[in-house]
Amino acid sequence: MGGSSFPVMTPDDLDTPLDANSLGAKGYFIGSGVVTVIDERTCIVQFALRVAQFYMHESCGKCTPCRVGTRWLVQLLRAVEEGTARERDLELTLDVCDRIIGKCLCVLGDSAAMPVASCVTKFRDEFRAHVEQGGCPFGADSQLAGLFAPVDQHAHTSVAQEAAV
């Protein structure tokens, strides 16, 4: 709700009126007003990873938490998606988000950390399933190609390098 930079909502929040106050009361933001709908065929770890990759690419690099934290989040989420993460990495992911939020020069760091933190918190079981099964439970069936631009869309040297992190 509100664009990629805000916490995700779950079906429990479906009847929340679409105005700033009602959303704000539940800890959401109206943001740009964009509503992105994701159904159960999409892996939420992939979603969080894709969002984190976007913000890592967007980070200007001026302040420490955003520059370093966004890259660290991508590394953590990729480990979860690839099945090399451990249970404590989920806690670490939340902690990294917490250490970014409210400590950066601008809100871009918050924008990266808020959706990731909400994904980990609200879809804990799905994250845990990745850790326990050693990989994505969806196998190759979940894909975000229709939802987001591919990560290598920008022909930018640093993106090529980023893709290698």
7 is written with which tokens? 């916490």
Say if CB 41 and CB 143 are below 8 A apart: no
Query: Whole-number minimum distance, CB 92 to other proteins, in Å?
Result: 6
The three-state secondary structure class of 154 is coil
x/- track of binding to other proteins for residues 77-116 (CB under 8 A): --x------------x--x---x--xxxx-----------
What residue has token string 């090529």? 160
Cα distance between residue 86 and residue 4, in whole Å:
26
Nearer to other proteins (CB atom), residue 6 or residue 72 = 72
Q: Determine, following the binding rule CB under 8 A, whether residue 61 of this chain makes contact with other proteins.
A: yes
Q: Give the type of residue at 18.
A: L
Q: Determine, following the binding rule CB under 8 A, whether residue 153 of this chain makes contact with other proteins.
A: no
Residues in touch with other proteins (CB under 8 A):
56-65, 67-72, 75-76, 79, 92, 95, 99, 102-105, 157-158, 161-162, 165
